[in-house]
């Protein structure tokens, strides 16, 4: 019988791709989502529990109905700019909900967790690429909540034997290669889908926040990783824990950085549509460059990126934008 895996936030962007990876690997994932930002259709045929991590009753119903071998935890607020404006929402919900989940796991004897963390835990790094020894000094509430939850997981292991893998990923991007699921946020804050919106409408301008950074073209550099590679890493982390592997924190990135202007140029090449630019003031807390050293993930999980060239990322995202995404633009979750 296939092992049941609880996936919180499984109707969201990365969670839904991970659901598919789990099914393909022979697991029986169960999606737990409140649909505040996700879409029911993204969960596909996986059993679905509509619930809120803030409600212990919802968690009890899910755990009572299934025997979970492990949990993959995505569900959280994840907008950096919003976290500056509303830190209470982030500190309260992200951390309290994680504690509720851990308490429910404890009541039902589930002690394995794959945690969706973030490179935002590092803040502004002293150097790039960044490995896992880089100090954790988050500069926004969102990154701070991820750091605190990692600490909570370490304490829960010491007290209750909960083993975990925290995956600190860099800039998730791209879409499923069959074009059926992809990135859709409300509001959309990520660079690539915003540029593709401009290309699709053939209207608007690419907003560049600062062109005077110490980089080759003056714009910020980020490490983009395809969502399919992220899903594969979550699967590998789960298998690592099920095989008795130790708790750890791992970077997930391609190890290659691309500037904002390089991304704009790639979108223009892929779509055949020129994207006009406008330069605005720098945003507070934006590091000049964030690039991952993900060698540890390769050693621990035997994982590597397979789909994270910028060209493939933009091509799959563009296919999703032109096709499946349009059906959800105005639809309710």
Positions marked active-site: 142
C-alpha 83/C-alpha 91 separation (Å) is 9
Strands 289-290 and 221-222 turn out to be: parallel
CA dihedral angle for residue 14, residue 16, residue 21, residue 27, rounded to 10 degrees: 130
Name the one residue in this structure whose structure tokens are 């059926």.
Answer: 180
C-alpha 166/C-alpha 271 separation (Å) is 36
CB 124 within 8 A of CB 137: yes
C-alpha 226/C-alpha 309 separation (Å) is 8
Of the candidates 177, 216, 209, the residue with the CA atom closest to the CA atom of residue 306: 177
End-to-end CA distance of the chain: give it in Å, rounded.
32
E strand or H helix at 316: helix 310-322
Name the one residue in this structure whose structure tokens are 């892929």.
Answer: 270
């Amino acid at each position: 019988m296939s092992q049941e895996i609880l996936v919180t936030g499984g109707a969201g962007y990365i969670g839904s791709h991970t659901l598919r990876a789990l099914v393909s690997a022979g697991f029986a994932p169960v999606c737990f989502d409140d649909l505040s930002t996700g879409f029911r259709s993204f969960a596909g045929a996986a059993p679905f529990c509509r619930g809120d991590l803030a409600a212990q009753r919802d968690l009890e119903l899910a755990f009572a109905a299934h025997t979970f071998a492990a949990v993959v935890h995505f569900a959280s607020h994840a907008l950096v700019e919003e976290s500056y404006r509303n830190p209470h929402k982030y500190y309260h919900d992200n951390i309290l909900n994680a504690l509720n989940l851990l308490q429910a796991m404890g009541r039902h004897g589930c002690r394995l967790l794959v945690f969706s963390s973030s490179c935002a835990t590092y803040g502004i790094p002293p150097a790039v690429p960044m490995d896992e020894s880089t100090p954790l000094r988050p500069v926004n509430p969102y990154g701070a909540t991820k750091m605190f939850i990692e600490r909570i997981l370490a304490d829960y292991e010491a007290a209750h034997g909960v083993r975990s893998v925290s995956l600190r990923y860099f800039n998730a991007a791209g879409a499923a290669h069959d074009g059926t699921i992809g990135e859709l946020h409300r509001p959309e804050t990520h660079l690539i889908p915003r540029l593709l919106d401009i290309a699709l409408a053939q209207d608007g301008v690419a907003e560049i926040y600062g062109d005077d950074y110490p980089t080759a073209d003056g714009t910020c550099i980020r490490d983009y990783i395809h969502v399919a590679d992220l899903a594969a890493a979550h699967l590998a982390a789960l298998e690592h824990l099920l095989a008795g592997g130790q708790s750890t924190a791992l970077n997930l990135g391609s190890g290659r950085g691309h500037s904002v202007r390089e991304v704009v140029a790639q979108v223009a090449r892929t779509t055949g549509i020129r994207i006009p630019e406008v330069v605005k003031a720098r945003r507070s807390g934006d590091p000049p460059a964030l690039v991952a050293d993900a060698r540890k993930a390769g050693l621990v999980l035997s994982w590597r990126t397979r789909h994270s060239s910028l060209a493939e990322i933009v091509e799959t995202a563009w296919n999703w934008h032109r096709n499946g995404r349009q059906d959800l633009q105005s639809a309710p979750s």
